[in-house]
């Protein structure tokens, strides 16, 4: 008997990076054979830790075997595809499609593949976000080496996590996912870091939870495989902050070790930035409270008295062009000027509003089509995201240049500190319609300038 040409006597099983999915949607857990070969005559078993004999899915003898399947997965699992070019089992793609994902589905899954002579396995983590029966907060981070420490704190004391899961990707880097019930704390912080390095921290101020509302936040990672809910009005306050970039990084292919991952992670994104850079300009406006020079520079008009006083409101906000309805786009905004220092007051982000309302009573937030990062003069060590409730990020110093990365299709808006090559934070949502760059120069300090390469 001879092995067919498409079959190798030896193979390895490789699983993808951790997957996050919103409750009720479908998740694809990627897994494949290396080298590529047919898995049609092999046994494929997907199971949770400690449940080898009651798998989520079992394939053998060229068909799915439901005899020993965990009943909770009945009717919800099939083979999936890890990419558009995949040809399924014929090319060794044994990815798992899990439909109608529930919170209880979160955890580690093992992809076990065996032939008559060889077997191997690899694991992938599934993280689930959604509308729990009570308010909850999520903190996620990827791209660390060695394993980081995650810590929840309230105003004065540490808070015990309700869930804490670690996993490894194929490159040996660590991921961490944690969930905390939000009840009883008015302010919650999540920090992730190495014992020898300063941890990255995000803080969330919690208001009175509304019926049916849940809060989840904090997603720091290098590559995004997020799935979203359906509409802007259904945005569930899932805010992401990419902590993992400050962890250690190991490049085993070159024998190089890095003590910080901030630079190398940003370099991994450069291929997207270089192909996604757009020439952003300001729309013409008759707003008497701002000045625009050459469609690239904006500042307040320096009037003697603003109707909104010292507050920064939509009165000094403006939209930019071009407009976006798909794809990835990147632009940079300079907030410093020689001999004038660094701007202390600004908004940078996007909006899907057809115009910026000059209404003092209007509060722009994620529920009415505004997504932006802001800075204020009296909060020099933090920048804020206009979610409800507001989320703050600690910064070492005020950013001189902020990079904005919009992935419309994946629902990601990320903000970068260009000078120190680090990610400040990211908002995850579902964009609908056209979105426009949004700017607000604040009042009384240097102008904003848009860079284009």
Report the SS3 class of residue 236: coil
| DSSP-assigned beta bridge partners for residue 284 | none
Other Cβ atoms closer than 10 A to 416: 25
**Could you tell me if residue 416 is left (phi over 0), alpha (psi between -120 and 50 degrees) or otherwise beta?**
beta
Query: Half-sphere exposure of 326 toward its Cβ, with a 13 Å CA cutoff?
Result: 0
Q: What is the mean pLDDT of each run of 10 residues along the chain (453 residues)?
A: 46 87 86 92 93 94 94 93 74 93 89 91 84 59 82 86 76 77 70 78 57 38 28 21 27 24 34 67 89 84 80 90 92 82 90 84 88 86 82 83 91 87 81 94 78 55
Q: How many residues are recorded in the chain?
A: 453
Residues 73 and 60 sit within 8 Å (Cβ to Cβ): no
* C-alpha–C-alpha distance, residues 285 and 280, integer Å: 15
pLDDT for position 99? 92
- Enter the pTM of the model: 0.52
Which pLDDT does position 450 carry in this prediction?
65
User: Which are the contacts of 378, defined by CB distance < 8 A and separation ≥ 6?
Assistant: none
SS3 call for 268: helix
- Domain annotation for the chain: domains and CATH numbers: 12-126 (2.60.40.10), 130-269 (2.60.40.10), 277-451 (2.60.120.920)
Q: Report the distance separating Cα 318 and Cα 276, nearest Å.
A: 22
d(CA 96, CA 98): 6
For residue 404, what pLDDT is reported? 93
At residue 451, the pLDDT reads 65
Alpha-carbon radius of gyration of the chain? 24
Q: Is 285 left (phi over 0), alpha (psi -120 to 50) or beta?
A: beta
pLDDT value at residue 130: 59
């Amino acid at each position: 008997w001879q092995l067919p040409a498409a079959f190798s006597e030896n193979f390895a099983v490789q699983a993808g990076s951790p997957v996050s999915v919103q409750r009720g949607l479908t998740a694809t857990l990627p897994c494949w054979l290396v080298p590529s070969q047919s898995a049609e005559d092999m046994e494929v078993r997907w199971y949770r830790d400690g449940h080898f004999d009651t798998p989520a899915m079992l394939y053998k003898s060229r068909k799915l075997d439901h005899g020993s399947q965990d009943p909770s997965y009945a009717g919800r699992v099939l083979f999936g595809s890890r990419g558009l070019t995949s040809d399924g089992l014929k090319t060794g793609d044994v990815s798992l499609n899990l439909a109608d994902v529930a919170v209880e589905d979160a955890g580690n899954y093992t992809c076990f593949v065996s032939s008559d002579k060889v077997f191997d396995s690899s694991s992938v983590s599934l993280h689930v976000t959604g509308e729990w029966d009570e308010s909850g907060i999520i903190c996620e981070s990827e791209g660390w080496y060695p394993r980081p420490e995650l810590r929840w704190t309230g105003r004065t004391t540490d808070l015990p996590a309700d869930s804490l899961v670690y996993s490894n990707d194929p490159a040996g880097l660590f991921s961490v996912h944690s969930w905390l019930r939000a009840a009883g704390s008015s302010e919650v912080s999540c920090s992730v870091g190495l014992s020898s390095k300063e941890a990255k921290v995000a803080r969330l101020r919690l208001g009175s939870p509304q019926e049916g509302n849940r809060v989840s936040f904090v997603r720091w990672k290098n590559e995004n495989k997020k799935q979203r809910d359906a509409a802007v009005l259904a945005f569930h306050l899932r805010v992401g902050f990419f902590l993992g970039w400050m962890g250690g990084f190991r490049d085993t292919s070159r024998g190089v070790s890095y003590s910080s991952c901030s630079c190398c992670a940003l370099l991994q994104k450069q291929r997207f930035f270089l192909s996604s850079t757009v020439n952003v300009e300001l729309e013409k406006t008759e707003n008497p409270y701002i000045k625009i020079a050459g469609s690239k520079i904006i500042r307040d008009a320096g009037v003697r008295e603003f109707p909104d006083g010292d507050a920064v409101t939509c009165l000094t906000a403006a939209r930019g062009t071009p407009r976006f309805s798909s794809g990835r786009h990147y632009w940079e905004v300079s907030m410093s000027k020689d001999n004038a220092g660094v701007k202390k007051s600004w908004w940078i982000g996007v909006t899907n509003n057809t115009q910026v309302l000059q209404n003092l009573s209007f509060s722009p937030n994620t529920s009415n089509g505004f997504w932006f990062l802001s800075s204020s003069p009296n909060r020099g060590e933090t920048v804020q995201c206009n979610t409800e409730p507001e989320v703050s990020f600690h910064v070492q110093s005020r950013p001189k240049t902020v990079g904005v990365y919009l992935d419309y299709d994946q629902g990601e808006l990320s903000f970068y500190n260009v000078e120190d090559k680090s990610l400040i934070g990211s908002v995850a949502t579902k964009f609908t319609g056209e979105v426009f760059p949004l700017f607000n120069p604040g009042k009384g300090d240097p102008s904003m300038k848009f860079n284009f390469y």
